Amino acid sequence: MNSYLMKTLALGLFLIACTFSNAASFEQGKPKIQSIDVISFQPEGILLIGDGKAGQVVLIDTKDREPQKWTASVDDLKGKIAERLGVAAKEIELIHFAVNPVSGKAYLAIRKQDTKSQHLITVDGQGKISEFSLDNVAFKSVALPKGSGGAISKITDLAWMSDRLLVSGVAADEFACKLYSVQQPLEKQSEVILTSAETFHVAHGKWETKAPMTVLMPFEENGKKYLVGAFSCTPLVKYPLEAFTENAKVKGQSIVELGSGNKPIHMFTYQKDGKSYVLINTFRFHHQKKPFGPSPYWTARIETGVISENANINEKALKRLDSKGEPSTEKIKLIPEFHGVSHMDKLDAAHALVISEDDKGALTLKALTLP
């Protein structure tokens, strides 16, 4: 047996082992989900649902582990999903989006406007659209504790790290931005550390506690682990996980400023040509006044070396634009091929799966080469 097959077999056995170790504590049935705010995945194809209304993260064993090649480009995505749900396109809202890293299948959280019901839709590599039923699945739930100001009202993002789950949420509190670190294995009685975030907003020139983190990702360097988050108006901030202790107020280090008037939506890391990058897409709510491109949705590529910065932070954070509104650094670049991308996730080492929106609001699901 050659080395490639041995590695492939070893990986398959590892994933199966992970799956069965998780399955031991799953229960079968219909999870009690009050809201689907965001979705993400564990590496072995376990779907993570952020349910802010119920203050919980729900894990679903999708049993979706057959890798497939993505060949489709699905035009009129919203119309086709609406048809699958038996309603008009104007009656549905796309809430969130994630890619199963094992199968490559797209998962979309959808809300029907008439009934306010929420649904999970899948799209496979050939463009087949299906509904993923939650009526009888293997699942488990992890409760997120309340802070001094009460429960969170919404989960804004979640992501899996090597040994824990990272969650961001919003609460009606002086320190409104809440961050959770949940140690594996994820169980009802898991150790959950709740902290509050204080962030220097470079564009505003001050420390803030009310602004919500809209997207996050894990990051490791020199043996240390960080939560990296992005906020509206638009600092990229890192928080050392070693500072996460129960009910702590953690000050982040603002390392990048992408400019005011934007809301980050998704971000992830990848490697290309021996270099490591962060890809982040945002919605520009100042598009009519000061556009960054042809669409209010724009995407930037950031060299990950910037995240390692420990000296030029907060007031000295690297800015994408100078005082004249011109690009100030080669380390942050706009990606024209990703203009119009409203949702995205990493598909494989070379591609992202994206949902792009044209000037008429029509949505297309397709794979794009990572820049």
Give the pLDDT band (50/70/90) at residue 272. very high
Cβ atoms of 108 and 53 within 8 Å: the answer is: no
Q: How many CA atoms lie within 13 A of 243 on its CB side?
A: 16
Q: How confident is the model at residue 322, as a pLDDT?
A: 84
Helix H, strand E, coil C: the string for 303-326 is: EHHHCCCCCCCHHHCEECECCCCC
DSSP states of 89-132: GGGEEEEEEEE-TTT--EEEEEEETTT--EEEEEE-TT--EEEE
Residue 333: in which H helix or E strand, if any? strand 332-334
Q: What is the pLDDT of residues 177-203, one digit of tens each?
A: 999 999 988 877 678 999 999 889 888
**Where is pLDDT greater, at 267 or 175?**
267
355/366 Cα distance (integer angstroms): 7
- Assess whether pLDDT exceeds 50 at residue 1: no
Q: How confident is the model at residue 48, as a pLDDT?
A: 98
Q: What is the identity of the amino acid at 315?
A: E
Residue 202: CB partners within 8 Å, gap ≥ 6? 235, 254, 257, 314, 315, 317, 319
Q: How confident is the model at residue 52, as a pLDDT?
A: 97
Nearest to 105 by CA among 83, 81, 89, 121: 121
Cβ atoms of 347 and 99 within 8 Å: the answer is: yes
Helix/strand/coil for 243: helix
Q: How confident is the model at residue 258, as a pLDDT?
A: 93
Q: What is the pLDDT of residues 299-351, one digit of tens each?
A: 999 999 999 878 889 998 999 988 777 888 999 999 999 999 999 999 999 99
Q: How many CB atoms lie within 10 A of CB 278?
A: 22
Global pTM? 0.92
Q: How confident is the model at residue 5, as a pLDDT?
A: 39
The single residue listed with the structure tokens 């724009």 is: 298
Which phi and psi (to 5°) does residue 227 adopt?
-100, 125
Cβ atoms of 257 and 202 within 8 Å: the answer is: yes
First to last CA, the chain: 35
- Assess whether pLDDT exceeds 60 at residue 9: no
Would you state the structure tokens that stand for residue 335, as one six-digit string?
Answer: 């990606």
Cβ atoms of 31 and 60 within 8 Å: the answer is: yes
Cβ atoms of 331 and 305 within 8 Å: the answer is: yes
Quick one: residue 116, left, alpha or beta (phi over 0 = left, psi -120 to 50 = alpha)? left
Count of all residues that appear for the chain in the document: 371
Strand partners, 299: 281
Query: Mean pLDDT for the chain?
Result: 91
Strand partners, 235: 257
Q: How confident is the model at residue 7, as a pLDDT?
A: 41
**Mean pLDDT throughout 5-28?**
53
**Mean pLDDT throughout 92-97?**
98
**Mean pLDDT throughout 134-145?**
96
Give the pLDDT band (50/70/90) at residue 10. very low
45/42 Cα distance (integer angstroms): 6
Distances in Å between the Cα of 83 and the Cα atoms of 19, 76, 90, 344, 358 are 34, 11, 11, 23, 20
Cβ atoms of 284 and 292 within 8 Å: the answer is: yes
DSSP category for residue 147: B
**Mean pLDDT throughout 139-144?**
96
**Mean pLDDT throughout 260-268?**
95
Q: How confident is the model at residue 189, as a pLDDT?
A: 66
% pLDDT > 70, the chain: 93
Q: How confident is the model at residue 24, as a pLDDT?
A: 52
Which phi and psi (to 5°) does residue 333 adopt?
-130, 140
